[in-house]
């Protein structure tokens, strides 16, 4: 079984992990009302998805 001969420094460890960061969600604007929505989800404000009313909302 492979075992490291020397301890990796904090600098070496962090350089290796530079690409393991988390990204925020992809947010777009609704085409109907302009509110911020997640991609491929119905708009929580107006209830539309791809220009069609999906969710009944009371306004």
The 10s digit of each residue's pLDDT in 10-20 is: 999 999 999 99
Dist CA 40 CA 45 (whole Å): 15
Which is nearest to 39 in space by CA: 50, 49, 28? 28
Q: Tell if the pTM clears 0.85, that is, is over it.
A: no
**What pLDDT, in 10s, does the model give residues 39-57?**
999 998 889 998 888 888 7
User: In sequence order, which residues have a C-beta less than 8 Å from that of residue 57 and are 6 or more positions away?
Assistant: 45, 46, 47
């Amino acid at each position: 079984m492979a075992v490291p001969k020397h301890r990796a420094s904090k600098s070496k460890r962090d350089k290796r992990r530079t690409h393991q960061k988390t990204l925020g969600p992809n947010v777009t604007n609704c085409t109907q009302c302009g509110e911020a929505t997640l991609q491929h989800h119905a708009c929580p404000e107006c209830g539309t998805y791809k220009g069609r009313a999906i969710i009944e909302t009371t306004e």
